[in-house]
C-alpha cells in the first residue's frame, strides 16, 4: 500500500503546487502578458472554474474506466495543461489553458481517495485518504516555495514546467505502485448520476461548501491583515505563510486519525474548532506573535477534508466516483464564497479582521447543515 499512497500523494503534490504557486507570481505574469495584476488574477478564477466543472463531468464520463488507468490519464492531462500554460502567449490563451488544467483536479483526488480507501486495512480508511491529501497540503509547505523561486529566477513559465514535470513523475509512480483495478461491475454514467438523488450527498457537500469557507475568508486577505493590523514587515510574510502550510499538514494528519475513530463526531468537532479559531483570529491578529500562531491554527481547519471525503463515500452508495470528485468542487465553492464575503466585509469598512467574523458565520452555517444531516440520519433510522 505504501508505494500506491506515495504515488498518489506525488500527484496531489503536483496539483497543489500548480494551484497555489500562481498566487505569488501574479506581478510577473501581469508584466509579461501586458495586463494589470487584477486582470492576471483571473487565471486563478479560470483554474477554479475548471475544477468545479471538471470534477463531475469527468467522473461521469469515465465511469467505466479502470481506476489506475483513469488516474494516469488525469495526470497526463494535468501535465499537458501545465506545459501548455508555460507556452501561452497572452491573456486569453493563458486563461483557457488554466481552465483546461483545472478540469482533472477534482476527479483525480476523488478517484485517488477511493483507491486509497480500498487498499487500506479496516478502520484506517481516513488515514489512507489523509496520506493522499498530504501531497496537497505538503505542496503549500515545499512545492509552492520551490516553484515560486524558480518563477522568480527563470520567469513564471518555469514554475509551470516544474509542476508539469512532477505530474509526469506521478504518472510513472502511479503506474508502478497502484495495482490494476477493473471497473466496477455495472458502472455507467447513469449510475454515477444517481449520487445526485441522495439527500445526504448534497448535505455533506453543503457542509464543505459553507463550513469550510471560513478558512478562505481569512486566508484570502492574510497578507494585508498581517502587515496592516499586526505590523509584520513584508519580508516576514513568507515565514508566517509557511506556518499556515505547517498547520495544514498537521491538521490533515490529525483529522484523518480522528475520523478513523469517530467520523461524525470528528466532523462536528472540527466545525466547532473552526468557530473557535476564526473567532480567535480577530483578536490575535493585532500582535505579530499571536497572529503567527493564529495563522498556523488557521491551516489546521483543513483537518475536516479527509472526514468529509469518507462521509461522501459512505452515503453515495454505488455512485462513489462522482460523489468523491464533487468533494473538491465543494471546496472550490468554499474558496469562492469565503473570499467574496470577506471582500464584502472589508469593502463595507469593517476592517481587515472582519474576515474572521465572516468565517465564524460560515462555520456556524456549516454546523447548521451538519445538524440537518444528523437529523436526516435519525429520521431514516
Residue pLDDT, tens place only, 105-132 = 989 988 888 888 888 887 788 888 888 8
Name the band, by pLDDT with cuts 50, 70 and 90, for residue 185: low
> Rounded to whole angstroms, what are the CA distances from 211 to 33, 331, 369, 378?
37, 10, 8, 22
Give the Cβ contact number of residue 259 at 10 Å: 28
Let me know the angle formed at the C-alpha of 98 by 65 and 336, rounded to the nearest 5 degrees: 95
Mean pLDDT of 297-309: 91
Q: In the structure grid, which three cell numbers stand for residue 272, read together?
A: 466547532
Confidence of residue 247 (pLDDT cuts 50, 70, 90): very high
Q: Say how many CA atoms lie within 13 Å of 349 toward its Cβ.
A: 0
* Three-class secondary structure of residue 233 per DSSP: coil
The set of cell numbers assigned to 315 is 452515503
Q: Which of 35-39, 81-85, 230-234, 330-334 has the highest mean pLDDT?
A: 81-85
pLDDT confidence bin for 141, thresholds 50/70/90: confident
Identify the pLDDT of residue 291: 94
Structure confidence at residue 286 (pLDDT)? 93
**Rounded Cα gap, residues 185 and 194, in angstroms:** 15
pLDDT band at 55 (very low <50, low <70, confident <90, very high): confident
Class of residue 45 by CB neighbours under 10 A (exposed 0-12, middle 13-18, buried 19+): middle
Does residue 170 carry a pLDDT above 90? yes
Residues 6+ apart with CB under 8 A from 345: 354, 355, 357, 358
Residues 336-370 as b/e (b if ≥16 CB within 10 A, e otherwise) read: bbbbebbeebbeeeebbbbbbbbbbbbbbbbbebb
Rounded Cα distance between 82 and 101, Å, is 7
CB-CB neighbours of 264 under 10 Å: 15
Q: Report the alpha-carbon distance of residue 106 to residue 325 in Å, rounded.
A: 5
Global pTM?
0.82
With contact defined as beta carbons under 8 Å apart, do 218 and 283 qualify? no
Poorest-confidence range of 62-71, 99-108, 246-255, 284-293? Answer: 62-71
Looking at 49-63, 180-194, 204-218, which range is the least confident one? 180-194
What's the distance, CA 196 to chain centroid?
A: 21
CA atoms of 244 and 140, how far apart (whole Å): 8
Which pLDDT belongs to residue 74?
A: 95
d(CA 187, CA 190): 8
Q: How far apart are CA 86 and CA 154, in angstroms?
A: 12
Amino acid at each position: 500500500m505504501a508505494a500506491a499512497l506515495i504515488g498518489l500523494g506525488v500527484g496531489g503534490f503536483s496539483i497543489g503546487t500548480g494551484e497555489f504557486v500562481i498566487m505569488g507570481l501574479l506581478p510577473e505574469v501581469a508584466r509579461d502578458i501586458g495586463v494589470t495584476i487584477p486582470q492576471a488574477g483571473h487565471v486563478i478564477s479560470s483554474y477554479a472554474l475548471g475544477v468545479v466543472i471538471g470534477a463531475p463531468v469527468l467522473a461521469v464520463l469515465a465511469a467505466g474506466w479502470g481506476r489506475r488507468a483513469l488516474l494516469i490519464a488525469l495526470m497526463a492531462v494535468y501535465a499537458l495543461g501545465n506545459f501548455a500554460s508555460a507556452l501561452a502567449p497572452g491573456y486569453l490563451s493563458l486563461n483557457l489553458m488554466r481552465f483546461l488544467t483545472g478540469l482533472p483536479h477534482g476527479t483525480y483526488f476523488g478517484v485517488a481517495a477511493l483507491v486509497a480507501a480500498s487498499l487500506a486495512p479496516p478502520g484506517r480508511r481516513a488515514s489512507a485518504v489523509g496520506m493522499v491529501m498530504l501531497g496537497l497540503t505538503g505542496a503549500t509547505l515545499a512545492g509552492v516555495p520551490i516553484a515560486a523561486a524558480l518563477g522568480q529566477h527563470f520567469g513564471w513559465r518555469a514554475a509551470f514546467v516544474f509542476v508539469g514535470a512532477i505530474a509526469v513523475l506521478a504518472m510513472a509512480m502511479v503506474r508502478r505502485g497502484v495495482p490494476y483495478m477493473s471497473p466496477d461491475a455495472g458502472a455507467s454514467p447513469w449510475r454515477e448520476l444517481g449520487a445526485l438523488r441522495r439527500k445526504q450527498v448534497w448535505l455533506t457537500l453543503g457542509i464543505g461548501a459553507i463550513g469550510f469557507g471560513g478558512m478562505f475568508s481569512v486566508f484570502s486577505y492574510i497578507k494585508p491583515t498581517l502587515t496592516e493590523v499586526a505590523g509584520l514587515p513584508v519580508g516576514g510574510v513568507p515565514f508566517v505563510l509557511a506556518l499556515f502550510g505547517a498547520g495544514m499538514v498537521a491538521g490533515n494528519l490529525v483529522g484523518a486519525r480522528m475520523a478513523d475513530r469517530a467520523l461524525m463526531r470528528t466532523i462536528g468537532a472540527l466545525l466547532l474548532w473552526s468557530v473557535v479559531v476564526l473567532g480567535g483570529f480577530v483578536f490575535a491578529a493585532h500582535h505579530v506573535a499571536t497572529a503567527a500562531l493564529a495563522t498556523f491554527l488557521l491551516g489546521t481547519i483543513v483537518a475536516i477534508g479527509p472526514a468529509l471525503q469518507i462521509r461522501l463515500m459512505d452515503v453515495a452508495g454505488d455512485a462513489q466516483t462522482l460523489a468523491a470528485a464533487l468533494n473538491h468542487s465543494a471546496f472550490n465553492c468554499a474558496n469562492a464564497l469565503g473570499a467574496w464575503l470577506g471582500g464584502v466585509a472589508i469593502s463595507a469598512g469593517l476592517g481587515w479582521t472582519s474576515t474572521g467574523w465572516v468565517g465564524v458565520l460560515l462555520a456556524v452555517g456549516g454546523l447548521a447543515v451538519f445538524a440537518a444531516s444528523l437529523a436526516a440520519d435519525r429520521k431514516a433510522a
